[in-house]
Amino acid sequence: MAFIQDPPRLSNQYDDDPLLADHLARIAPEMAQAIASELRELGELAAGELYAQSLAERELEPVLTQWDPWGNRIDHIEVTPLWKRAAVIAAERGLVAAGYEPRWGEHARTHQFAMVHLLSPSLDFYSCPLAMTDGAARTLLDSEDPVVAPYVARLTSRDPARMWTSGQWMTERTGGSDVSQTETVARQADDGTWKLFGTKWFTSATTAEMALTLARPVGNAAGSRGLALFLVETRDAAGKLCGIEVNRLKDKLGTRKVPTAELTLAGAPAIQVGTGADGVKAITPMLTITRTWNSVGAVSAMRRGLAIARDYSKRRKAFGQLLADKPLHTDTLATLEAEYAGAFLLAFRLVELVGRRDHGSGTDQEERLLRALTPIAKLTTAKQAVAVVQETGECLGGAGYVEDTGVPRILADAHVLPIWEGTTNVLSLDTLRALGKGGAVEALAAEVEAHCRRATDPQLARPVAVARAARDHALAWAAAAMSEPAELEAGARRLALTFGRALELAYLCAHAQWCLDHDRGPRAAAAARRFACSAVDLIDDRAIGDTQLLTR
Ligand code: MFK
């Protein structure tokens, strides 16, 4: 009989990877114990029903119908069945709400993102509207505008019938990075109400019930200071879009289940939130939250790729042996596991800091750290995700290149992670912006040190030394480049990635020590040692001269 390859299968995604459980036990032992059965249930759902549905619906995509048969403009977007199911699961499981609930105090965000980590790779990027919904809730709360209370209640509800999602409409034809060029205009009527006029060029998850957006009130100054923050309710009570036309759904490389649209705002009624100016600053809480979701999404994508590649290695034979018994194959997998572990600890440290800030227990130093860690974690983990997911696909050979295995879609989707919510370069510049604030550099340096210090076992000595050396090189380079703005800007990506990788290694060392001390085995120490063999210090002191030689 002809040979038929046994396909890879997923096992319970909570039990499959000890890192999540170990991390929870380290930072919040009481919560870890209390939520273990919930997480195990979600791990089963993600590996079973939802994964199967996602594969079965592989070819389904959202459909925009602009006109009804009688000539009415309707702009209806029909999303996929899994997206409809995801909306119910997200509400009932509290994928946004859990971050705002008091039960776990400063660990509420860790609880929330542990669930997101397990579920999101099986939800066809429903994490996109959830990220923006979460970001909108935080932005509205931070605005302290009394008008927002009913909206926050909707966004953070656990009732599927009440929960709303929110969009984040910032990108215009003038630019997704340079938001200050926004052309949308806000006009105020005599009765004080506002209407928006303009074009939004990338609006993700356009099916949301509301959106936060930026517009320039007539008479306001140019630039980002003249922009104001607005809340748009997208539909009226009858479900008809209010002054909004959906021109087209984008034909994207990945995230194809996400209905990303080009919109015309043709007098969309809007509520002004906050002061009526400084809109970019007013929407920055959204950026912090969605960049946190992006970091966790990157880590979850790596986990999914690894789960498939690992399982496949136990089913696939080549040259007379299982791949799992082949030294080069397992060496490749080990390196990917170390990358994933570093990225996980960086993303979940960011989550921890967000939780402490939201709860009011964060220190001033942690506030500065959070500001710098947000772009660093986003840009570092996103690049790792693309690289790791590419390799995990390659672990399946040609099968990983064939669409109906579902594997290529993970890579296509991962490619969005370094782009949306700020490209790698824009976030590198944001890292400089953050480090320019007093005390931020010291907070980052101290963070690496505090975690290195915890690692006292001799087998962690080299990883600790590598993390410290990378940090010190980055600090010395930044101090020298400070007086040369062009040099500083040119090296911003290397600086941010070096901090990102040094932090990951320091977190790996501290986590490994805890695992050794608490009978959790030597796996994490192995990850730290393997990570220390990768490129951690990316600083290039001769970069400027070489750039000129290469591009002149
Ligand atoms: C897995 C799920 C993943 C999540 C899915 C989400 C899907 C969403 C799809 C999208 O919508 S993608 C579009 C997202 N767009 C962006 O991320 C915008 C990228 N561009 C930037 O981030 C630019 O850096 C920025 C627009 C913020 C630059 O704007 P400005 O106005 O030129 O910046 P400026 O003047 O330096 O800063 C204005 C104020 O904001 C300053 O405050 P101060 O006046 O008090 O100094 C800044 O310090 C502050 N600020 C800027 N960026 C900040 C910030 N504060 C905190 N955090 C930041 N990141």
- Report how far residue 257's alpha carbon sits from residue 255's, in angstroms, rounded to the nearest whole number: 6
Last residue of a domain, one of 247, 280, 313: 280
Residues whose CB falls within 8 Å of the CB of residue 500, separated by 6 or more in sequence, listed in order? 346, 376, 377, 379, 380, 381
Q: Which helix (H) or strand (E) holds 528?
A: helix 523-532
- C-beta separation of 237 from 222 below 8 A: no
CATH assignment at residue 256: 2.40.110.20
Instruction: Express each pLDDT in 295-342 by its tens digit.
Output: 999 999 999 999 999 999 999 999 999 999 999 999 999 999 999 999
Instruction: Express each pLDDT in 357-386 by its tens digit.
Output: 999 999 999 999 999 999 999 999 999 999
Nearest Cα residue to 225 out of 265, 268, 278, 180: 278
**What is the amino acid identity at position 326?**
K
Q: Is the dihedral of CA 188, 189, 194, 197 positive or negative?
A: negative
In a domain, 302, yes or no: no
- CB neighbourhood size of 189 (10 A): 9
In a domain, 78, yes or no: no
In a domain, 106, yes or no: no
In a domain, 397, yes or no: no
- C-beta separation of 355 from 103 below 8 A: no
For 144-162, give one letter per residue: b (16+ CB within 10 A) or e: ebeebeebbebbbbbeeee
Instruction: Express each pLDDT in 475-497 by its tens digit.
Output: 999 999 999 999 999 999 999 99
295 lines ligand 1 (CB under 6 A): no
Last residue of a domain, one of 245, 280, 315: 280
In a domain, 275, yes or no: yes
- Report how far residue 43's alpha carbon sits from residue 14's, in angstroms, rounded to the nearest whole number: 5
Last residue of a domain, one of 252, 280, 308: 280
What pLDDT is stored for residue 215 in this prediction? 97
Instruction: Express each pLDDT in 103-149 by its tens digit.
Output: 999 999 999 999 999 999 999 999 999 999 999 999 999 999 999 99
Tokens of 196: 């928006």
Closest ligand 1 atom to Cα of 374: 59
User: Cα–Cα distances in Å, from 511 out to 303, 334, 499?
Assistant: 18, 17, 18
What total of structural domains would you count in the chain?
A: 2
In a domain, 495, yes or no: yes
- C-beta separation of 24 from 114 below 8 A: yes
132 lines ligand 1 (CB under 6 A): yes
In a domain, 476, yes or no: yes
Closest ligand 1 atom to Cα of 180: 31
Residues whose CB falls within 8 Å of the CB of residue 300, separated by 6 or more in sequence, listed in order? 116, 117, 118, 120, 121
The boundaries of the domain holding residue 487 are 440-551
419 lines ligand 1 (CB under 6 A): no
224 lines ligand 1 (CB under 6 A): yes
In a domain, 44, yes or no: no
